[in-house]
Amino acid sequence: MTGSEHSGVHGLCAPTTSEALDAIGAGAYAVDEQGRIIAVNARAEEVLGRTAAELVGHDAHDLLHRDAQGQQLPRTQCAMRQAFHAGHPAQADDDYFARADGSVLPISWLITPYGTGDHRTATLVVFHTPEQPPRTRPQPGSPAQSLSELQRLALLAETTAQLTSTLDVDEALRRLVSLVVPRLADWVVVDLITERDEVWRAVVAHVDAEAPVRHEELEGPMPPIPEESPMPLSRALRGVASALAGPQNYQGTPDSGIAVEQGRLFRATGMHSAAIAPIRSPRAVLGALTLGRADYPEPFAPVDLPLIEDVARRAGLALDNARLYQRQRKVAETMQNHLLPQMPGVSGLEMNVRYLPAPDASHVGGDWYDAFPLADASTALAIGDVVGHDLEAAAGMAQVRNMLRAYAWSQHEPPSRVVERLDEAIVHITDVSMATMIFGRIEAADEGHWQLSWTNAGHPPPLLVGRDGLARYLSDGHGILLGTQAGLRRPDATVLLPPGSTLVLYTDGLIEVPGQSLDAGLNRLRQHAAALARRPLPSFTDQLLRRVRPAENDDDVALLALRVPDGPPA
């Protein structure tokens, strides 16, 4: 019902920034745009002798930066501070940090821009001391293009943060490309194994003027994975091993269709050296990552493979998480489509409905709408919101809606009495704890009017928009929400709907904005609905959603718009 009740997808949460930094084998912390520490790893706490609580929120320069004598280092003399404001990577070998006990710690450091995954701009600081070098296996440097150990650690930290903070496969691939080119290569190729065990060349990108450019003519479906081929890509796609490769590997007679495609790739890109690593998840091999060098003269060396394998391993975890999320969204979307009804045809009345899921939830929730004919030839209208945004809320919504239909059809009572019966029942025979609802009935009246009778159980009020652009909320008939006080008598209200007018029923996700009053959202809805009063109903509905739904909305939205005819009812 509100953003605070949003549950997301259980088990698919991205790690925090601090958890991502713990993957680094050296001390590390991240600072915001003002230089305040926003996250720190356990190694930094150990080396500095300070807890995360003693570090987070403090200005890193004021707290830590010192000269060799332990004196506060002026900001104008601090190389790290200058690089921080310039916004570009930098490193140094001879600087000093202050420990909690007042001692001075000689350090080497590297800083680089860092994505935290929550749209904030941050900077990563990785540091170590001569006595405590990074906890990684020493590697001999590979030719010229080799990254320093601190740069490798920074790349892995950024890879973890960037890839695990999205649950969209396409966005994860875009971030992966930006992470590895031009830092490690000038070409990047990602081959993915689909859920039907087919191979798809999802990305072929080349760095152009420091930005990756996709080459879609080289992307697309690939031949099947050969079972016994010793060729590098085939082995990677089977999860056997990573390997170095070059055009010479594919100059002989190809042993499979994939070998043919790899030969074509090397010829089209001009790559003289490539490193290929499996993209794995804990459950399966998801594909292969190929980094290639064409413009870079230095070939890849065996010592480069561990870093590329680490990047591919992190990509595999992120892609697996994203696939699980998308699979759950698809299941939930199918369920939602079956739960929300089709609108009945009512002579002379136009009806249009929309449902938009919460942007970051599992594409299903507790918001719902309904309209159905009653035995006395009137038409029932309903809009409601069951607490929650998950499959449990959707199941509760279906229970409430079906019970409402049964009571409304069988009882031939005013809307208030129907909802009273429903309120008495849901506490005992459903798992729904609370819900809001408007239930009404519309029928033809005299002199070209239509009459709406309704009761409101704690829901935002209906909006009535005249053809002349006059709009007002129908605030009568308001009672408390369902599930809080069964047995309470509920009020009814009645209004005549003028010819050509539009009735709007909606859920709170359309109008609520965190940090703003509800009145602001209601005023926004009224103003836009009045401006759209003469639009055809489908356009009215679509434009109302586009204009009114808050950009920062994290709630689902249900909307039912009804327009009465200009002339007398048929």
153 and 64 in a common domain: yes
**pTM strictly above 0.85:** no
Q: Is residue 196 part of a domain?
A: yes
Q: Are residues 353 and 411 in the same domain?
A: yes
| In a domain? residue 143 | yes
Q: What angle do CA 43, 45, 50 make, to 5 degrees?
A: 165
Is 2 part of a structural domain of the chain? no
Considering the domain architecture, whether residues 305 and 347 belong to the same structural domain is answered as: no
The boundaries of the domain holding residue 128 are 11-160
Q: Which of 330, 353, 388 is the last residue of a domain?
A: 330
- pLDDT in the model for residue 277: 97
The Cα 227–Cα 483 span in angstroms is 60
The string of pLDDT tens digits covering residues 47-87 is 999 999 999 999 999 999 998 888 888 888 888 888 888 87
Same domain, 474 and 546: yes
Count of C-beta atoms within a 10 Å radius of residue 102: 9
**Mean pLDDT of the 334-360 span:** 72
CATH of residue 85's domain is 3.30.450.20
Shared domain for 225 and 266, answered yes or no, is yes
38 and 110: one domain?
yes
Q: Which residue has the tokens 């413009």?
A: 295
**Total structural domains in the chain?**
3
- Cβ atoms of 200 and 220 within 8 Å: the answer is yes
In a domain? residue 90 = yes
Q: Is residue 325 part of a domain?
A: yes
Distances in whole angstroms, Cα of residue 200 to Cα of each of 208, 342, 523: 24, 37, 50
Instruction: Give the pLDDT confidence of 413-468 residue by residue, as tens digits.
Output: 999 999 999 998 887 887 777 889 999 999 988 776 799 999 999 999 999 999 99
pLDDT value for 9? 35
Q: Which residue has the tokens 């809307």?
A: 415
Q: Are residues 352 and 277 in the same domain?
A: no
Q: Within this chain, do residues 370 and 302 fall inside the same structural domain, yes or no?
A: no
142 and 264: one domain?
A: no
Kindly write down the DSSP assignment for every residue of 272-325, as one continuous string. Answer: SEEEEEEEE-SS-EEEEEEEEESSS-SPP-GGGHHHHHHHHHHHHHHHHHHHHH
Task: Answer whether residue 3 is part of any domain.
Answer: no
Query: How far, in Å, are 360, 379, 428, 485, 555 from residue 413 at the CA level?
Result: 40, 13, 22, 21, 33
Q: Three-state secondary structure along 12-63? A: CCCCCHHHHHCCCCCEEEEECCCCEEEEECHHHHHHHCCCHHHHCCCEHHHH
Q: Looking at 140, 160, 180, which one is the last position of a domain? A: 160
Alpha helices in 340-414 (DSSP H): 391-411
Domain assignment of residue 89, yes or no: yes
Q: What CATH number should be reported for the domain holding residue 289?
A: 3.30.450.40
Residue 120 sits in the same domain as residue 191 = no
Identify whether residues 379 and 403 lie together within a single domain.
yes
Cβ 400 vs Cβ 432: under 8 Å: yes
Give tens-digit pLDDT for 231-271: 999 999 999 999 999 999 998 899 999 999 999 999 999 99
User: How many angstroms separate the CA atoms of 153 and 147, rounded?
Assistant: 10
Residue 533: HSE in the Cβ half-sphere, 13 Å Cα cutoff: 18
Same-domain status, 155 and 183: no
Paired residues of 122 in beta bridges = 114
CATH of the domain at 421: 3.60.40.10
Domain boundary among 133, 160, 187: 160
The rounded distance, in Å, linking the Cα atoms of 276 and 263 is: 14
